Structure 1
Amino acid sequence: MRATSPSPSTRRTGVDQDQKQDGPQLKFGVESDLRMSLGVVLILVPACCLMSGNCLAATLGRPENTIIGPEIFGDVTNFSTFLLDPSSGMLVLGARDAILAVDTNNMSKPPKKIVWDVPEDKRKSCVGKGKTEVDCKNYIRLLEFLGNDQIYVCGTYAFDPQCAFLNIPSFSLEKLENGGVKMETGKGKCPFEPSQHHTAVMADGVLYTAATSNFLGTLFDISRAMGPEQERIRTEQSINWLNDPKFVSSAFIEQPPDNNPTGDDDKIYFFFTEMAKEYDMYIKVPRVARVCKSDVGGMKTLQRRWTTFLKAQLVCEDKPSSQRYNILTDVFTIQHTPGDPSSTHFYGLFTSQWEPEDLSAVCVFSLSEISKVMNGPFRELKKTCENWINPEPVPTPRPGQCLTRALKDEGFESSLKLPDKVLTFVRDHPLMENSVTAAPLLVRKGLRYTKLAVMLTGNGGNQRKAVLHLGTDRGELHQVAVVDQNATLLQEIPLFSSQEPVNNIILHQGRALVGSPLSLAGVPAEGCSLYPSCEVCARARGLGCVWSTEDETCHAAQADPGPGDIVDQALRTCNTHAGRCHPSIQELRVTMGLRVLLPCVQLSPRPCSWEYPPHRHTRQHHSDLEVTVTEDSLGKYVCTCQEGGPSIRDPTPCRRAAYQLMLEDPSVGGVMAPRVGRHILAIYILFFFMGLLLGGFLIFFLTRKRAGTDLGHHETEKGRELLGSSATPQSPSSASLMSDAFRMTEKPNGTTSSTTTTTLLSNQDNGGHHGNSHSNNVINSKPSNGHALYVNCSTLSSELRLNSEILIANRLDGRTGEGVMSERESREGDELDERLGDGLRDGMKGLEEEFASFPMFKSPAPLAKCEENSI
């Protein structure tokens, strides 16, 4: 704990500016006494904290988590692109004006570094075009393996994208004869602006990209950006093809030669969100687009344009609740059966355009479902009435299909030999009629997920067990177990500061490499031994984990879990009476007029319902319930949510939370803190007053003694008073340096609200939100399966406020009677009184700030605003 007070140099400067002929010695002495008394107070209060056991609270990361940041990376920031070499464990990071290489086997080892910045003249030219100094740097946005121990590196290069070649063994950029970096244009490969969305994938040494293609960022291309010049093809500049897309991800699906009976071509898939042209409203839709690797464009129509470009809409929707998530933010590609491309699944991370609050959902789409839609009917816009209808008969061979062995036998060895009618049709009909639909695996409200990585567990072709690693915009990593239709939150691991969103997650050898713009973390991500408690291990029961009561560890079970609610059964074996669907009732003691928010956190997209007294005043916020306490609203409140059942259309009810609202005894005089909290508060107050009393007496006696000495030295013959009757202080109601107010905690909005408002935050067994808050009055329930804390934000009738004036009694220099002062002496006394008051006021202000920083008076989490819309 660090005490904050004005620095000695600052105080000395103030004294020098206000010096008078007879004042400097006295003022310095009073100031020394003030520092002494404040020191005593600040020593007593931490001692009180230590006695109460609640002052020194620290959050320590798990020892197996490795986090490196600016202390290792130095001044290199803005990490945006990761590339991992699985064979060596080397992780290449693309940053601003630099490229780093981190050894993931020893992350504390200093990384290798390459500086690739922009020349000064080019930077000034960029600024002269209206761009900012920060943006006119070289942000590394693309890293792809080229083969031959080389990495293809592209950067924004002051809004003039450039690419270079990185030699892996020497970790250096290839140079020209004159010593400069060997570069080639990066237009169409790398975005112009650091914040623009793009994606790229390497397929057999050829780069396929989706990015902006002009300086203004108004043109977009999906292109083959490498290879012979005549084979570098791209999309048509038409809003039917791409309409203001936000590119998210790409994947290369290779057909193995030994398991490809039809001779089908390899394909590249691109995922993005764009403005929908097929609707009559301004709406964003997620898309998946597909092109074929052997496509070289048409002979006359679609010259150097894709002849196989097709796209379809992705629909992530919970049909029972009619909730649709329409903005795609990330996609993770994985094969459910390793080595079988047909088992490829795409896990998509979504949010909603229509939700005012943060919301995230995860849907999974299979490659077979996407291929089925791509082989289905086309959607057509009839020019006369601008309505989408089913198209006329499709020409032969089918437009947009990849070359197969059958097509080659018919004479279509290349896309250059396709008829013009086929090419014209695919040019005008890139959109498919049907959509690829999936139900969300999980939905989280109140937070935003930014990145997703998936780890499958178990064996077998029908893989239905997975662990989702989700990065948040607050620097956290969440692990969620998905078994069949049920999602269970396992852990929430804070890694970075709340200002560092997670922007990269790579799974490698049982570890999750998690990145932010400033830091890198290595987190264990595989094995039951990662789960530190019985409750967390019980939530992973569907993954084959079981808790051992003998050695208190979580390990893999010998047998698969049986039927039924295995998580609920496993939770019952822990030292708790509450299960996943059988929570214990939390008793909440409340007062009239309070607004209580009863949380019901769950991951299922299905709605939640509440059971409550018939006469009540409530309002539901998503799954949480707001209750205004009246005589009729007292009673039992139970939240029941629909969980995933054996099938999507067969959900099962699960009780998620239960509360009992009870009226506090009116004789208590309001909401009281729990007994332990009252004891701690009493100790704080006791030592606080003792410290203030001791400091006040020290100031009084030391000031009196020093003033007497100085006065006797300067004016022994006059026998006059230091302070005249005109400066006589007003006596307080108590003998301490206290008025009747002291602000223990500041309101979040800086004002005091007179509205009686209560906020309830709960830490649930299902791994829901964790939060705490403090305010003027604190009450709490009996936590059986969680910790509840709710605060009353009403204004107290009186506050405790440190007095900013010092009390100095009249002294008659050993005599009794009323002293008489000259005009000059009276003025000097007034000025001295003012200086003393100012000095102590500054000291008391620092003391107020110090007490406001104590955990008892200030919560580590921000206080919720005492308003209706922020409960």
Structure 2
Amino acid sequence: MSPGGVVLVLVPVFCCLLYGNCLPATLPGLDGTILGPETFKGVTNFSTFHLDRPSGTLFLGARDAILAVDTKNLNKQPKKIVWEVPEEKRTSCLAKGKTEEDCRNYIRLLEFLENGQLYVCGTYAFDPQCVFLEPSSFTLEKTKNGGVKMETGKGKCPFEPSQHYTAVMADGILYTAATSNFLGTVFDISRATGPEQERIRTEQSLSWLSDPKFVSSSFIKQPVDNNPTGDDDKIYFFFTETAKEYDLYTKVKVPRVARVCKSDVGGMKTLQRRWTTFLKAQLVCEDKPSGQRYNVLIDVFTTQHIPGDPSSTHFYGLFTSQWEPEDVSAVCVFSLSDISKVMDGPFKELKKSFENWNNPDPVPTPRPGQCLNNALKADGFESSLKLPDKVLTFVRDHPLMENSVTAAPLLVRKGIRYTKLAVNLKGSAEEQQAAVLHLGTDRGELHQVAVVGQNTTLLQEIPLFSSTEPVNNIILHQGRALVGSPLSVARVQTQGCALYPSCEVCARARGLGCVWSSEHKTCQLSEADPGPGDVIDNALKKCGAHERRCNPSTRDLKVFIGLRILLPCVQLSPRPCSWEYPLHRHTRQHNSDLEVTVTEDNLGRYVCTCQEGGPNVREPTPCLRAAYHLILEDPSVEGWVESTKGRHVLAVYILFFFMGLLLGACLFYFVYWRKRGAIPGLRRPDNSLSSEKGRELLGSTATPQSPSSASLLSDGFRLTEKRNGTTTSTTTTTLLSNHGNGGHHGNSYSGSLNNSNPSNGLYANCNTSSGELKLSSEILAANRLDGSMGVVVRPEG
């Protein structure tokens, strides 16, 4: 076989092994299945999930296609409808300056109508269109002449595939928050369907919406049999926008919650075809003891703490920070009752004044922005069209509330960026409830975190997709989580104590009612009261393990002078972590982890202590999270031997094997033509220089030196550093550690191959254009230096 043929065979094999997408993968012990790109046969860029819970059919909105996956039988081939943009439409889009990838049809909306049809909207080459899908036959509704029946999607679907967008269906009427023009500069929260005269939207004013990034929306329906005041149903929208109330040089981002009422039809003269009930308030997710505030909203999950009671609704918000130089994620929970109190409170005065004081406008009667109820109807205000102009003028000029909806974080993770959130509640409403947070990361992982009382515990970290596939959808259904990325779909078991395979892991779930059975060697559900105190530590004691949640065993690490290592310490609570170690300047803290450059002066014991406690605890208790002992080892060993496993290692071995074959073929080629006396492309040397014959051929050409194959066998990713807004790669790290209260977690691959388009976030199946693998100075994780693992390290240079 020619060298080119070898490469053609090698590329798909290596791509397949590296990404694990050759066959549908199964997650051992988790009742999980992963459907990769090979299952969907070229369909990519999944952005929208919608589950038909009675039938268990998962509808996927992708690029130029709509898919239907049977979640009860994942081995069944998904159904597919192709909905592409005509060539002339795409040409027109390109002529307007858009890219080839953007001028496709990205499905951004999937919602059921009251007649059972699925309402589907796509970007359609920057001209949004909507169609009607019949789920039973999985076909699009046709016109009389046989074409697809379409209607405009402007105001219902964004123009661009990467624009932030949210929509919710309320009693068959669609409410959306999206851009409403080609340039993406006009933002609207609108009633997008229904009678034409009732399709209303927000006022085009920066005081209403200021460059918002829409995140989520929720419909709260009042129960018919338990609504004595006759209060109207409400729709809530969550987004991040640029604050206008702060007079600062820096653009400050603030998270908001906005509310509109379902029966609002606009005003008669003022606010015609505009919301008369639009009010918004600031969400504050802040740890008051440290003063750290998380001001960028990423996702919101809505749930009822008491099923069937809308007043018990809580919104779990996923946040990050505008001010943090590194990745940070936090989770705060806000109650509907707290939001309602703020909406019923004082209005913020946004008028600018150079005087020392300013009298706010008096609040007229009836109260501006309130929803219709029995009291308003009794006063003659049966519709928003009958509200007086002074009320409408006030609410037009005062959309923002004075008070904020505040909460303290349940969870804080530094060094990790979460992208999606879903929540399971445990226990009855009367007793203290526990919550299990299912968090998707930007590296294709699913993390499960238990929040019980004042303690937050990391249960497990599950690697699902490649490190370039962020989790963008999580749907909880029948004890499982349906997790999506732009290229793949996974089903993971999320409920049941049988998920936890060992006594130590089961002990971390004691607050969820799990108990380890020594007789059956399984983790089982128990109704027994866990008792007072630290239930996790008590459960760990029953396991007979030396490792405690707040009393970890010390790990001996064999090191040598000049080695750089990273000592992990997992921080879950919003309280900070601190290190105790021999005083020396060759240390640097990365979030809660500690980087150490080994010298003779800093050998010894390293202990990490984190502050535990709930959001409202003023004096949290210290909890030891990690302990290490650095021991000097003989540094004169030649080579680097490390025990590594997994398909990535196999892929690297195969790669070097074929590279060796290719190099051998090239050498054979040169030797053969040298013996023949002529090499194509080179001039035959002069016979008078017979003693120097061939010197120009091979004498000046050194064999390319490749890095040690053993050094490429560790899963690594680049440690980046941001300076002046520029991200600079500084070193290659192997930061794979057993995070989470002493528990074991699967290692996630963090490679340097990227199969995404960084310009617009659009994904393809596999990109093998870059085969570059590099290794620079070493930073080794502590769990790779355990003496029992037989790790021997050679210093750099």
**Both structures adopt the same fold (TM-score exceeding 0.5):** yes
Call closer, same or farther: CA 1:123–1:306 in 2, change over 3 Å.
same
Are 2:85 and 1:121 aligned? no
Deviates more, 1:110-119 or 1:588-597: 588-597
Structure 1 portions without partners, runs of 5+? 12-58, 678-687, 711-722, 730-737, 797-871
- 3-state SS in 2 of match to 1:218: coil
Corresponding position of 1:852: none
The counterpart of 1:601, out of the listed 560, 570, 574, is: 570
The counterpart of 2:402, out of the listed 408, 416, 433, is: 433
Greater Rg, structure 1 or structure 2?
1
The counterpart of 1:130, out of the listed 97, 102, 105, is: 97
Question: 1:194-241: per-residue Cα shift (whole Å, max 9, x none)?
Answer: 111111111111111111011100001001111211111110000000
Counting only pairs closer than 5 Å after superposition, residues 828-847 of structure 1 correspond to structure 2 as none
Are 2:166 and 1:199 aligned? yes
- 3-state SS in 2 of match to 1:538: helix
Corresponding position of 1:763: 738
The counterpart of 1:162, out of the listed 104, 126, 129, is: 129
Deviates more, 1:456-465 or 1:561-570: 456-465
CA distance in 1, matches of 2:595, 2:127: 54
Corresponding position of 1:799: none
Counterpart code for 2:624: R
CA contact (8 A) 2:314 2:334 kept: yes
CA contact (8 A) 2:558 2:786 kept: no
Are 2:484 and 1:518 aligned? no
Counting only pairs closer than 5 Å after superposition, residues 222-371 of structure 1 correspond to structure 2 as 222-281=189-248, 282-371=251-340
CA contact (8 A) 2:462 2:746 kept: no
CA drift at 1:771:
7.7
Counting only pairs closer than 5 Å after superposition, residues 821-860 of structure 1 correspond to structure 2 as none
Corresponding position of 2:765: none
Corresponding position of 1:810: none
Counterpart code for 2:62: A
Question: 1:424-450: per-residue Cα shift (whole Å, max 9, x none)?
Answer: 111000001111111111111222111
Aligned pair count reads 698
CA distance in 1, matches of 2:642, 2:53: 56
Question: 1:321-370: per-residue Cα shift (whole Å, max 9, x none)?
Answer: 11111111111100011000011011111111122222211111110111
CA contact (8 A) 1:448 1:472 kept: yes
Deviates more, 1:606-615 or 1:366-375: 606-615
CA contact (8 A) 2:408 2:615 kept: no
Counterpart code for 1:347: Y
Are 2:584 and 1:620 aligned? no
Corresponding position of 2:444: 475
Deviates more, 1:512-521 or 1:210-219: 512-521
Counterpart code for 2:738: N
Structure 2 portions without partners, runs of 5+? 8-24, 645-655, 677-688, 696-701, 719-729, 751-774
The counterpart of 1:61, out of the listed 27, 32, 35, is: 27
CA distance in 2, matches of 1:178, 1:196: 34
CA distance in 1, matches of 2:209, 2:383: 25
CA drift at 1:787:
8.9
CA contact (8 A) 1:775 1:792 kept: no
Counterpart code for 1:61: L
- 3-state SS in 2 of match to 1:661: strand
Corresponding position of 2:533: 564
The counterpart of 1:445, out of the listed 377, 391, 414, is: 414
CA contact (8 A) 1:160 1:187 kept: yes
CA drift at 1:604:
1.2
Are 2:708 and 1:744 aligned? yes
Question: 1:92-142: per-residue Cα shift (whole Å, max 9, x none)?
Answer: 111112111111111111222222221221121111111122111211111
- 3-state SS in 1 of match to 2:350: strand
Corresponding position of 1:53: none
CA distance in 2, matches of 1:580, 1:138: 50
CA contact (8 A) 1:585 1:657 kept: yes
Corresponding position of 1:732: none
CA distance in 2, matches of 1:334, 1:615: 49
CA contact (8 A) 1:760 1:788 kept: no
- 3-state SS in 1 of match to 2:146: coil
CA distance in 2, matches of 1:258, 1:95: 41
Please identify which structure carries the higher helix content.
1
Are 2:371 and 1:385 aligned? no
The counterpart of 2:366, out of the listed 393, 397, 406, is: 397
CA contact (8 A) 1:585 1:659 kept: yes
Corresponding position of 2:115: 148
Call closer, same or farther: CA 1:579–1:167 in 2, change over 3 Å.
same
CA distance in 1, matches of 2:26, 2:608: 34
CA contact (8 A) 2:567 2:595 kept: yes
CA contact (8 A) 1:779 1:791 kept: no
- 3-state SS in 2 of match to 1:259: coil
Deviates more, 1:261-270 or 1:443-452: 443-452
Counting only pairs closer than 5 Å after superposition, residues 655-674 of structure 1 correspond to structure 2 as 655-664=624-633, 669=636
CA contact (8 A) 1:586 1:783 kept: no
Corresponding position of 1:38: none
CA distance in 2, matches of 1:488, 1:444: 12
CA distance in 2, matches of 1:387, 1:573: 66
CA distance in 1, matches of 2:491, 2:572: 26
CA distance in 1, matches of 2:467, 2:233: 42
CA distance in 2, matches of 1:562, 1:310: 45
Call closer, same or farther: CA 1:150–1:626 in 2, change over 3 Å.
same
The counterpart of 1:493, out of the listed 450, 462, 486, is: 462
The counterpart of 2:622, out of the listed 640, 646, 653, is: 653
CA contact (8 A) 1:585 1:784 kept: no
- 3-state SS in 1 of match to 2:88: helix
What TM-score does the superposition give when structure 2 sets the normalisation length? 0.80
CA distance in 2, matches of 1:205, 1:457: 32
CA drift at 1:588:
2.4
CA contact (8 A) 1:489 1:767 kept: no
